[in-house]
Amino acid sequence: MDYNQLFTEMGIESQKIEAKGAVASYIPELHRVDPWKFGLHLTTIDNKNYGLGDCNEKFSIQSIAKVLILALAFELEDDKLWSRVGVEPSGTPFNSLVQLEYEKGIPRNPFINAGALVICDILVTRLKDPKQEFIDYVRNISGNRSIDYCQETAESEKSAGYKNTALISLMKSYGNIVNDIDVVLDFYFYLCSIEMTCKELSQEFLFLAANGINPLTNSRIVSPIKSKRINSIMQLCGFYDEAGEFSFRVGLPGKSGVGGGIIAIHPGKYSIAVWSPKLNKRGNSYKGMKILEFFTTRAESSIF
């Protein structure tokens, strides 16, 4: 595949796609982001890089970080992890309380907010200094020491985190949260505040395209079977109640964030990151999903 030619075509196509939707207004710091930003970056497993637009500008990756806490918790807990969180699609909004109560405090999967809070609780138990050890883990995956939290975004998340407080309190009542809820929430808000560029994001997630090894550092992050399982959860659950639509149109494992970012993985080939802050009604980047659909269709590069 001639990615240079394809990225030239995508640059033209991106101008045609209307960026519908709106930025995430319920988090004050995200509401200040320029809604017209657009970046795209692909990194192959042999470290070839192709970028477009604002691909070198940092943005808040938000829920994309849930994949990284899952990878770390899975390494620490192995299959014990699945006694506290499921692997099924939710079919409901990412912050739904109704389903969580019906299922007695066991979240459907690690990528809805409730599931990520359980993963955070596990890491708070297992790590001496969760915030520092986690950001070190993220930096070590790609060898990029510049990756960091954004304190302003974390504090902004805290100021509007009422639904997350309700979710974790409900799970605490069912015994599925062990630690102090304020400590777990603080860790959760900070991990959502991590900032990366599209290029950094695609390089960070390359280990899921290479059977658990990041070829940039030649270090094993997870085992091949865990890489397979994380990719499968991304395929089924990475876009909340729009996961089926993303599979149908794009055909890759992926994960979105309300900062407007999307990461997608083609095992054995590449990882690709896109950023466009305007979200559709389900909280996923409208333009990001459209350009990835164009990309996999034009490249004949889905996993199906």
pLDDT tens digits for range 265-295: 999 999 999 999 999 999 999 999 999 999 9
Answer for the pair 121, 177: CB distance below 8 angstroms, yes or no: yes
What is the structure's pLDDT at 98?
Answer: 87
What is the structure's pLDDT at 116?
Answer: 98
Q: How far apart are CA 278 and CA 261, in angstroms?
A: 10
- Flag whether pLDDT at 95 surpasses 80: no
pLDDT tens column, 222-246: 999 999 999 999 999 999 889 999 9
What is the structure's pLDDT at 91?
Answer: 75
Rounded mean pLDDT of 49-68? 98
Rounded mean pLDDT of 166-188? 97
Q: What single string gives the DSSP state of each residue in 211-246?
A: TTEETTTTEE-S-HHHHHHHHHHHHHHTTGGGHHHH
CA-based radius of gyration for the chain? 18
Answer for the pair 141, 74: CB distance below 8 angstroms, yes or no: no
Domain 3-297 in CATH 3.40.710.10:
yes
Query: For the chain, what is the mean pLDDT?
Result: 95
Rounded mean pLDDT of 246-252? 97
Which segments of the chain are extended strands (E)? 39-44, 49-53, 59-60, 195-196, 213-214, 219-220, 254-256, 261-266, 270-275
Among 30-44, 84-98, 108-122, 177-191, whose mean pLDDT is lowest? 84-98
What is the structure's pLDDT at 18?
Answer: 86
Kindly report the pTM of this predicted structure. 0.96
- Flag whether pLDDT at 94 surpasses 80: no
